Structure 1
Amino acid sequence: MSKVVLLTGGVGGAKLALGLEAVLDPADLTSIVNTGDDFVHLGLAISPDIDTLAYTLSGKASVANGWGREDESWAFMATLRELGGEDWFLLGDRDLALHTIRTGALKRGESLSAITARLARALGVRSAIVPMSDHIVSTFVDTDEGPLAFQRYFVERRCAPAVHAIRFEGAAAARPAPAALAALADPSLRAILIAPSNPFLSVDPILAVPGFAKALRAAKAPIVAVSPLVDGKAVKGPTSKLMAELAIAASHASIAAHYDGIIDGLLIDRPDAGAPLSIAFAETDTMMVSAADKARVARAALALADSLA
C-alpha cells in the first residue's frame, strides 16, 4: 500500500504536503482541500486554500507570506486603491490570471475539481489537489460584531472579533468531490493524514460535508492528525484565540477530542503537562520551517500511521 490522502487547509497544510512530496512519489499523494474559505471578490471566484497549496507545491509561493506568488507585482492593487476600490484583500497582478481563468470556467459550467486539476497541472504540481466539494460551502463566524463571512473575519478584521459560533452554509446540501471519495476508497491507501490546519476553520468544513465522515470511517487505512499546537499555542493563525473564545482548552487532548471518532492517532510536539492523551500518539518537533523540517514531520506522521495499520 502506498497511496496517502491529506485533508488540509492552506499554509500549514501546504507545508506538510510539501514534506509528503519529498518522502513519497508525488503521484501517490492526494490533498483534499478546504473550500469553505472560497468567496467571490470583485467579481472573481477566489479559492485561497487551493491556491496556497498549488503555489506551494509548484515552488511559486511567496516564501515570506506563505500565500500568493513569489514573483508578484501589485499595480492592480495600487490602481484599485487609487480609485477607491476595496483593497482589504490583496490580489497580485499574476495571481489575477488564475482567478480570471477559474471564474470564466465556472461560468461555463466546469466543476471546481476539473478547473483545479487543470490549473495545478499548468503550474507544474506533481501530486493531486482536489477540492473538498464542487458545491458551494461558505464558512461564517458569529462574533461579538455580528455574523461575518470568513474572509471578512480572517483578512479584513484580522481575526479581531471574538467568535462564539462557526457555521458552514451550504454544507448540508453539498457532496464530496468524486475524486475525494475515490481517493479515500482506494484499496492501496496507506494512510489518511489531517494537516496541522485550524481544526475549526479549515478541517471542520470538510467534515461538515455529508459523506466525508462516513468515507473516513469506512476507509481501511489508519487516520492520523498532526496537532496544530506547540507548547499550547498555534504555530500560525487564530487557533489558540478561537479555542479560548469557544472555551476549549488549548491542549493536544482537546485536539484529539475534537477529532474523536475520526482519527486513530495524533502526532504532537511533546505531551502537555496534566493533560494525558487517551489516543495513540507519537512525538516529533512539529515546527516546519526548512525543507528538512517538513520531511521530518511527514515521515513521523506516516510512521505513526504505519504503526497503527
Structure 2
Amino acid sequence: RDLATHLVRTRMLQAGYPLSVVTAALCDRWRPGVRLLPATDDRCETHVVVTDTLDGRESQGRRAMHFQEWWIRHRAALPASEFVPVGAEDAEPAAGVREAIAGADAVLLAPSNPVVSIGSVLAVPGIRYALRSAPARVIGLSPLVGGRAVRGMAEACLAAIGVPCEANAVAAHYGARCAGGILDGWLVHTGDGTTGDGATVPGVQVREVPLMMTNVAATAAMARAALDLAGLAV
C-alpha cells in the first residue's frame, strides 16, 4: 500500500495536480478519519550542505545535495553543516492551512524531526506567523527519548545545526511563543525534562509523560496528555 500510494502521488503530481488535490484523493481512498492538508502546494526540496571527506580529512570542500541523496545514498556519513529548504522562500501555505491553524482548539507539533520535517513546514512563509498568532495553545512533543531519536535521523540533523540532542534543547530551538517562538507547552519522555543544561525552557510549560507509542493505549494516553497540556478536557 505504501508503494502504491507513492506511485499514485507521483503520477498525479506529474500530471499537474497540486499536492492538496493529490492528498484529498488519497484520503478519499484510504479514509484516515481526519482532514489532511499539505503545508504548501508549491515545490520545496530540502538540500544539505555537506563537506566531503577522505580518511577523516576535508577533501573537496563544501557542496549541496538533495536530502534523500545524503540520507539514503550516503547514510548521513558526510558531515552536514546546513539544511536548505529550496523553494520555500517563494512558497505560500496551501489553501485552508492558515484557517485550520486559526480555528483549531489546540495545535500539536508531532514528535517528528525538528530540522527536516517540522523545520521544512515552518520554512513556508506564513506558517510560523500563523502558529504565533493562533488563539489555541501550541504544544510540541519531543522526538527524543533518553537523548536519542526513536527512529530516523534527528540526531544527525540536530548535530549539524548545533542543537544538543536533548529534549529541552529542541524546545529551545523552537522557542517560546511569548518570546517570538512557537511553543506554549512541551511534552518530554519521563525523565528527560531534567537532563542537560536546558532543564527548563523559559516561557514553555514542560511536562514529563511516557512518549513511547508501544500500543494503542499508550498512544492514546500520550495524545490525552498533549490535549490536557493544551487546556482541553478529554
Fold equivalence (TM over 0.5):
yes
How far apart in 1 are the matches of 2:70 and 2:167? 26
**Structure 1 length-normalised TM:** 0.65
Does the CA contact (< 8 Å) of 1:144 and 1:163 recur in 2? Answer: yes
Runs of 4+ in structure 1 displaced over 6 angstroms?
none
In structure 1, list runs of 5 or more residues that go unmatched.
1-59, 61-67, 69-94
CA distance in 2, matches of 1:268, 1:101: 37
Distance 1:135 1:280 in 2: 34
Alpha-carbon contact 1:232-1:272 (below 8 Å) kept: no
Counterparts of residues 114-125 of structure 1 (less than 5 Å): 114-125=21-32
Q: Percent identity?
A: 35
After superposition, residues 45-64 of structure 1 pair within 5 angstroms as none
Q: Which of 143, 159, 178 is matched with 2:95 structurally?
A: 178
Query: Partner letter of residue 206 of structure 2?
Result: F
- TM-aligned CA deviation for residue 142 of structure 1: 0.8
In the alignment, which of 216, 240, 243 is matched to residue 155 of structure 2?
240
Q: Following the alignment from structure 1 to structure 2, what is the Cα–Cα distance between the partners of residues 210 and 161?
A: 30
Counterparts of residues 12-91 of structure 1 (less than 5 Å): 68=2
The whole-number CA distance in structure 1 between the counterparts of 2:183 and 2:111 is: 13
Higher mean Cα deviation, 273-282 or 202-211?
273-282
Q: Is the 1:191–1:222 Cα contact (8 Å) retained in structure 2?
A: yes
Find the counterpart in structure 2 of residue 262 from structure 1. 182
Alignment map for 1:154-233 (pairs within 5 Å): 154-186=71-103, 189-233=104-148
Q: Give the secondary-structure state (helix, strand or coil) at the position aligned to 1:141.
A: strand
The one-letter code matched in structure 2 to 1:184 is I
- 1:113 aligns to 2:46 (yes or no): no
SS, match of residue 178 in structure 1? coil
Number of residue pairs the alignment of both structures matches: 212
Find the counterpart in structure 2 of residue 280 from structure 1.
205
TM-score (norm 2): 0.84
Whole-Å separation in 1 of the counterparts to 2:11 and 2:154:
34
Letter in 2 for 1:272: T
Deviation at 1:246, TM superposition (A): 3.1
AA in 2 matched with 1:114: V
Residue of structure 2 equivalent to 1:135: 42
